[in-house]
């Protein structure tokens, strides 16, 4: 592969020289040509079809939209082979050209791409997937068949070596981030070691998340686009994408835009060190951040700005408090892409959060579990089977129908009923248990419709690693 890259770079240099040819260099060429004609001592070199060469190499070297790892050229803006584009349907013409230059068949190019990871490794689990893919059964079977060309074998060998170097480097840096988290939080532990992961942002910062993909915001509650072009709020949901593209992959707030997000399967919780990470692309725009339990009463954490998107909430909350909502308000600043550009938002040490519908669990106004309620609890216990220890808090919540006192009492009894059944289903003495009845005090939506009241009648289970 080194030979292949050397050839490509050589042609790239030719193309660069041709494209940057100045008036002076053209005059020098004419002068040299005239001198050669007077000597008549050396035979003429074969004429090169520079037009054809430029057409081919222009397609190979053009990186297209440089912010995008799927740009439309054989190389990315950083000089790496543009694997993502080569793998795409749009990159099929370049696969043929690449096969010609590499001295392999088009089928061998397609096979080799199975072992060539995209330039953008986004997490430890992604790195592990890349390593697993290096033993691709189809590629191994082709090699054993004896049909593989020598160039193909060299391409595969060097692809594997390069991939292992990249993944090993990524995982080494990720391990340092993980160790830093547990140094700050020695009593903390990963609730489920199958989910923990470390993600990288566009600035190459490593962010360890004990809950892995579950750590990210899940839904858009409200969006007020700022000027001039706030858009695509849903692009700020789900796992971080590493080198994300501002144009296609981010929630763009716009100047003074406001974005409110909801965490469904986890909750923001204060740990030692930062508690929230905002995966923002490009310059970190000054943005005001707030958090809320119910989407109605907000805690103002303050301004995010400068060179980091780590946020610590310890000065604004009580120990053990959890929050389900986060709101960003872009402040009035100008930049190349006006307004904050958010790829993802993660609760770093958050609590695992699960929700059970009271209508499934109980009859109206009752606290004795129905048969389908017991089944739902056992299904939930099955989802929690990888959890080894921690504190399980069972919270009862009601709507606003009835008195505060009646609702609080009902919610407390419902929490106790669910906790008793869940404790039997999990059957692990290492867990600590708490039951709390909040009545109507913590709605997740306003009690202004029958549909919203049904959402507020719920039992939530929070699992925290302490």
What CATH number does residue 340 fall under? 2.60.120.260
**Do 408 and 283 reside in the same domain of the chain?**
no
60 has pLDDT over 60: no
Residue in the block written with tokens 């700050």: 184
Q: Does residue 161 lie in a domain region?
A: yes
Are 243 and 307 members of one domain?
yes
| DSSP single-letter state for residue 215 | G
214: in domain: yes
Specify the higher pLDDT residue, 429 or 361: 361
d(CA 123, CA 144): 32
Q: Are residues 281 and 383 in the same domain?
A: no
Answer whether 0.95 is exceeded by the pTM.
Answer: no
- Tell me the C-alpha distance between 125 and 195, whole Å: 9
For residue 56, is it within any domain?
yes
Q: pLDDT tens-digit profile of 254-267?
A: 999 999 999 998 99
Is the pLDDT score of 7 beyond 90?
no
Same domain, 207 and 285: yes
Q: Which one, of 398, 406, 436, lies nearest residue 418 by Cα?
A: 436
**Whether 239 and 110 share a structural domain:** no
Residues 309 and 449 in one domain: no
Q: Which two tokens stand for residue 274?
A: 């930062």
187 in any annotated domain: no
Q: How confident is the model at residue 307 (pLDDT cuts 50, 70, 90)?
A: low
Shared-domain flag, residues 142 and 211:
no
Check: CB of residue 406 under 8 Å from CB of residue 414.
no
What's the pLDDT band for 77 if we cut at 50, 70, 90?
low
Q: Which CATH number belongs to the domain containing residue 362 in this structure? A: 3.30.1330.60
In this prediction, residue 323 carries a pLDDT of 93
Q: What is the dihedral of CA 450, 454, 457, 463, to 10 degrees?
A: -140
Q: Using the predicted structure, report yes or no on whether residue 28 has a pLDDT greater than 70.
A: no
Are 343 and 381 in the same domain?
A: no
Same domain assignment for residues 207 and 155: no
Question: 366 is in which domain, residue-wise?
Answer: 353-464
- Assigned domain for 396 exists: yes
Structural domains of the chain, count: 3
Which among 348, 317, 342 has a CA at the least distance from the CA of 327?
A: 342
In a domain, 183, yes or no: no
* C-beta of residue 115 within 8 angstroms of C-beta of residue 139: yes
Q: What is the average per-residue pLDDT within 23-30? A: 42
Q: Are residues 117 and 207 in the same domain?
A: no
């Amino acid at each position: 592969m080194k030979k292949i890259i050397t050839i490509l770079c050589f042609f790239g240099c030719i193309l660069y020289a041709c494209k940057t040819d100045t008036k002076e260099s053209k005059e020098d060429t004419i002068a040299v040509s005239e001198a050669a004609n007077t000597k008549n001592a050396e035979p003429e070199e074969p004429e090169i079809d520079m037009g054809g060469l430029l057409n081919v190499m222009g397609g190979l070297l053009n990186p297209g939209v440089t912010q995008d790892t799927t740009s439309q050229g054989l190389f990315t803006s950083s000089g790496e082979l543009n694997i993502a584009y080569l793998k795409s349907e749009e990159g099929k013409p370049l696969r043929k050209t690449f096969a010609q230059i590499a001295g392999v068949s088009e089928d061998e190019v397609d096979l080799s791409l199975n072992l060539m990871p995209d330039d953008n490794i986004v997490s430890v689990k992604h790195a592990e997937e890349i390593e697993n893919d290096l033993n691709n059964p189809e590629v191994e079977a082709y090699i054993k068949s004896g049909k593989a060309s020598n160039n193909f074998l060299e391409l595969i060998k060097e692809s594997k070596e390069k991939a292992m170097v990249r993944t090993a480097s990524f995982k080494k840096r990720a391990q340092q981030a993980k160790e830093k988290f547990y140094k700050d939080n020695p009593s903390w532990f990963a609730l489920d070691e199958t989910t923990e992961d470390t993600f990288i942002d566009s600035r190459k910062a490593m962010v360890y998340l004990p809950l892995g993909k579950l750590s990210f915001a899940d839904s858009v509650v409200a969006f007020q686009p700022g000027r001039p072009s706030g858009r695509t709020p849903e692009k700020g949901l789900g796992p971080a994408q590493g080198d994300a593209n501002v144009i296609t992959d981010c929630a763009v707030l716009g100047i003074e835009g406001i974005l409110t997000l909801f965490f469904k399967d986890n909750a923001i919780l204060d740990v030692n060190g930062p508690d929230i990470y905002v995966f923002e692309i490009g310059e970190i725009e000054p943005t005001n951040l707030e958090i809320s339990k119910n989407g109605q009463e907000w805690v103002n954490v303050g301004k995010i700005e400068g060179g980091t998107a780590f946020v610590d909430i310890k000065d604004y909350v009580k120990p053990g408090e959890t929050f389900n909502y986060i709101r960003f308000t872009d402040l009035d600043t100008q930049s190349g892409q006006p307004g904050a550009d958010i790829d993802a938002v993660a609760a770093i040490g958050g609590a695992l959060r699960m929700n059970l519908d009271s209508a499934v669990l109980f009859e109206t106004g009752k606290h004795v579990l129905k048969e389908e309620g017991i089944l739902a609890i056992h299904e939930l216990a099955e989802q929690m089977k990888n959890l080894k220890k921690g504190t399980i808090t069972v919270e009862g919540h009601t709507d606003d129908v009835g008195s505060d006192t009646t609702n609080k009492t009902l919610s407390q009894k419902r929490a106790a009923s669910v906790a008793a059944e869940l404790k039997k289903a999990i059957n692990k003495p290492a867990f600590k248990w708490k039951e709390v009845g909040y009545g109507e005090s913590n709605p997740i939506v306003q009690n202004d419709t029958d549909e919203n009241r049904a959402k507020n009648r719920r039992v939530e289970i929070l699992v925290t690693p302490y």
